[in-house]
Amino acid sequence: MPVYDVRGRRIGRVKDAALVPLVNSSRVDRYLVGGGDAWLTVRYDQIRSISLKGIFLIDEQLTPYHDDEYMLRLGRDLLDQQIIDVTGRKVVRVNDLTFELHHDGTRETLIVSDVDVGIRSILRRLFQGVLPPRWIRWLQQPIPPNSIRWEFCNVVEPDPLRRLRLNISYQKLEQMHPADLADIVEELAPAEREAIFETIDSEVAADALSEIDPKMQASILESLEPEKAADIVEEMAPDEAADALSELEDETSEDILDEMEAEPKTEVRELLEFEEDTAGGMMNTEYVSLSEDASVKDALQALESSEELLESLNTLFLVDAEGRLSTAVPLARLFIASSAARLKQMAADTLIQVTVDEQQDRVVELFDKYNLLTLPVVDADGKLAGVITADDVISVLRQK
């Protein structure tokens, strides 16, 4: 697009344009105009009008272009690159950009409105300047447009300093379901993955990381600073944390463990002791256990104090004075019992349990045979050591 100065003389053509996201996230702030040897920078407030004929200026004071860290260049940094479509929950490649023209009395500005993906935008990029515009529109007509609102796009930038200057954050990603976020992250390059895990909230990161393939988990944790990795691992379920750490080299996993807080650290360390393909390696230590003579009221109190487990909890365990597992109580029975009733009387008919060194295949068999949701694991003395839940078994089966 040609650029004309105040007196209508042609200065050059627009070679690229840039946003300055720190000032405004969607307004095209600079136009980079190439005429002779050097490029010139036109600021948005130096422009009178923008049309298909060209850009007309109201100001003559143009500065030569120099690469500026605060600029997100549309042609160089956005076109043909991968971005995250937050609403569509996937990684897409930018084929084209759509602008909106804004009037505000004295001047006209361009606002980035959509990012185009799909065949329609490919056709325009391919044939622009090769075929007459009318033909291109005719070719495009039968294809529905496929674009994403600019505000739902997330640019990925591995360099932390530049990320700050370009005002890129991944907060939008934190709203996604962790499994979707995990899918997105798996599609990105390692440096970009690291960038996302470095900046998002540790809790979200932990949930997403749990959903990622074990080998990739390891490479992500390895690439992070040990402190950040420890923050994330602390938020993971202990069994998943142990699985992830066991994939790492001993030295790296020690570094991460050193940075962790005392309580999750001991839990994870204990789990790390077990062989991966035994009940001990599969179990987690997130369960609720009560004494044998506890009442329904006690149970409700115990549940109140372990709120973070409620989402997936379905069984309570009763242990004797020495911590040995005696019975299991299905959670739903609590609803139809009076508050003074003893839990012991509501116990499931048979108690199915395994020891920590039971083979993984056997555990899977038990889940299948008895249609289990939860299976308690005991140590050599019969003390409750942890539980295996159905999702652990599903992961095992999926990996085969």
Partner 1 sequence: MPKLLGRYRYQLAVFFAVIGPGFITANVDNDAGGIYTYSAAGARYGYLPLWTLVPITLVLIITQEMCSRMGAVTGKGLSDLIREEFGLRITFLMMALLVIVNLTNVMAEFAGVASSLGLFHVSRYISVPLAAVGVWFLVVKGDYKSVEKVFLLGCALYVTYIISGFLVKPDWKEAAIYSVKPVLMLDPGYIYMLIGMVGTTIAPWMQFYLQSAIVEKGISVKEYAASRLEVIVGCITTDVVAFFIIVACAGAIYSLKPTDIQDASEAALGLRPFGQYAFLLFSAGLLNASLFAACILPLSTAYTVCEGLGFESGVNRNLREAPIFYFLYTLLIVVGAGVTLVPRFPLVQMILLSQVLNGMLLPFVLIPMVILINKHDLMGEWVNARWHNAVSWITVVIIIGMTLAYVGFALRGVH
Instruction: Please report, as ranges, the residues that interact with partner 1 according to CB under 8 A.
Output: 79-82, 90, 92-95, 117, 119, 122, 125-126, 188-191, 215-216, 219
State the Cα–Cα distance between residues 4 and 24, nearest whole angstrom. 25
Q: Which is nearer to partner 1, 95 or 360 (CB)?
A: 95
Q: Which is nearer to partner 1, 6 or 189 (CB)?
A: 189
In the bound complex, what is the minimum distance in angstroms from residue 52's beta carbon to partner 1? 22
Q: Where are the alpha helices (DSSP H) in the chain?
A: 119-127, 133-140, 160-165, 171-174, 178-187, 190-199, 202-210, 214-223, 226-235, 238-247, 250-259, 262-272, 279-282, 296-305, 360-370, 390-399
Burial 26-37 (b: 16+ CB within 10 A, else e): bebbbbbbbeee
Q: Which whole-number Å values give the CA distances from 241 to 47, 275, 313, in the listed order?
A: 56, 15, 19
Q: Which whole-number Å values give the CA distances from 14 to 11, 35, 39, 394, in the listed order?
A: 10, 9, 9, 56
In the bound complex, what is the minimum distance in angstroms from residue 47's beta carbon to partner 1? 26
* Secondary structure in 3-state letters for 38-85: CEEEEEHHHEEEEECCEEEECCCCCEECCCCCCCEEHHHHHCCCEEEE
Q: Which is nearer to partner 1, 214 or 323 (CB)?
A: 214
Q: Which is nearer to partner 1, 6 or 126 (CB)?
A: 126
Q: Which is nearer to partner 1, 8 or 144 (CB)?
A: 144
In the bound complex, what is the minimum distance in angstroms from residue 339's beta carbon to partner 1? 49
357: helix, strand or coil: coil
In the bound complex, what is the minimum distance in angstroms from residue 94's beta carbon to partner 1? 8
State the Cα–Cα distance between residues 192 and 170, nearest whole angstrom. 12
State the Cα–Cα distance between residues 217 and 214, nearest whole angstrom. 5
The phi, psi pair for 306, rounded to 5°, reads -120, 55
In the bound complex, what is the minimum distance in angstroms from residue 397's beta carbon to partner 1? 14
In the bound complex, what is the minimum distance in angstroms from residue 153's beta carbon to partner 1? 14
In the bound complex, what is the minimum distance in angstroms from residue 223's beta carbon to partner 1? 8
Q: Which is nearer to partner 1, 43 or 90 (CB)?
A: 90
In the bound complex, what is the minimum distance in angstroms from residue 235's beta carbon to partner 1? 23
Q: Using CA of residue 319, residue 324, residue 326, residue 328, what is the dihedral sign? A: positive
In the bound complex, what is the minimum distance in angstroms from residue 213's beta carbon to partner 1? 8
The phi, psi pair for 41, rounded to 5°, reads -105, 125
Q: Which is nearer to partner 1, 93 or 383 (CB)?
A: 93
State the Cα–Cα distance between residues 174 and 40, nearest whole angstrom. 39
With contact defined as beta carbons under 8 Å apart, do 12 and 34 qualify? yes
Q: Which is nearer to partner 1, 94 or 279 (CB)?
A: 94
Q: Which is nearer to partner 1, 68 or 273 (CB)?
A: 68
Q: Using CA of residue 269, residue 270, residue 271, residue 276, what is the dihedral sign? A: positive
